[in-house]
Amino acid sequence: MDGGDRLVEPAAGDRPVPADVTLPPELAVAARTLFGDRLDLAAAYAELLATEGVLRGLIGPRETPRIWERHLLNCAAAAERIPEGASVIDVGSGAGLPGLVLAIARPDLTVTLVEPLARRTAFLVEAVEQLGLTRTVRVFRGRAEEAAAGTRDIPPLSADIVTARAVAALDRLAAWCLPLAVAGGRLVALKGASAAEEVTEHGAAVARLGGSEPELHRAGVGVIDPPATVIEVVRERIVGPARKKGPKRSRGGRRRGDRGRDR
């Protein structure tokens, strides 16, 4: 692959080792609570992130010691905001956060990972196969708008829940994600310290896009510290694309600028 998707195979001695990604003892109780009997599967994914994820530039090398605390447990905590048996679309999935984590923690979910970059989708496809998740997880290469519109071979995608993590500000995120949610479905966005400000700043824009008033939630209270911060928006109305404004007509029915054209 060339351009932004170019892959450079490192020398054998440069290949990272997953020693730093061992589950820290102080996080063991939280990890067992969130992943249950699929904790070994979560550990296998953590190892993939620390090796292939680093090689492909999806995870920074300095992130490997924090994969459990900063990424896996934070994403898994959001699972409590998703109903049993729901369909999920993860927008801008990147290395699979939070989509793959949710699929690991919740085998009852069906998850579609939406990602436009080839090098990332290649990693996601391989990860899904290696983790044995092919029955519940699929990968769509493209942007959110393309997923909502469908392609020649794939019908438009939609789901009960649309997730995203560290993708964009809430107004842009709602524009991309709400069209993928079924009527009454929800956007569940993992956010950081600016979440409350985004709710205040972008509430009106979300409403224009057919969304409810954004709600701020804390997930994983009493399990992880700090809890995950989640913004939720219900898709209350289906809003079509804005119509292009045509020439104004006069009261007599003629469009302005038509005078003299038929003389």
In this prediction, residue 106 has a pLDDT band, given cuts at 50, 70 and 90, of: very high
The rounded mean pLDDT for the chain is: 87
**Is residue 71's pLDDT more than 50?**
yes
Element spanning 203, H or E: helix 195-208
**Is residue 245's pLDDT more than 60?**
no
Give the span between the Cα atoms of 217 and 57, in whole angstroms: 31
First to last CA, the chain: 61
In this prediction, residue 238 has a pLDDT band, given cuts at 50, 70 and 90, of: confident
Q: In the prediction, which pLDDT does 241 show?
A: 58
To which residue do tokens 């990604």 refer? Answer: 21
Q: In the prediction, which pLDDT does 9 show?
A: 35
**Is residue 2's pLDDT more than 50?**
no
Higher local confidence (pLDDT), 252 or 30: 30
218 token code pair: 């804390």
Give the span between the Cα atoms of 161 and 177, in whole angstroms: 9
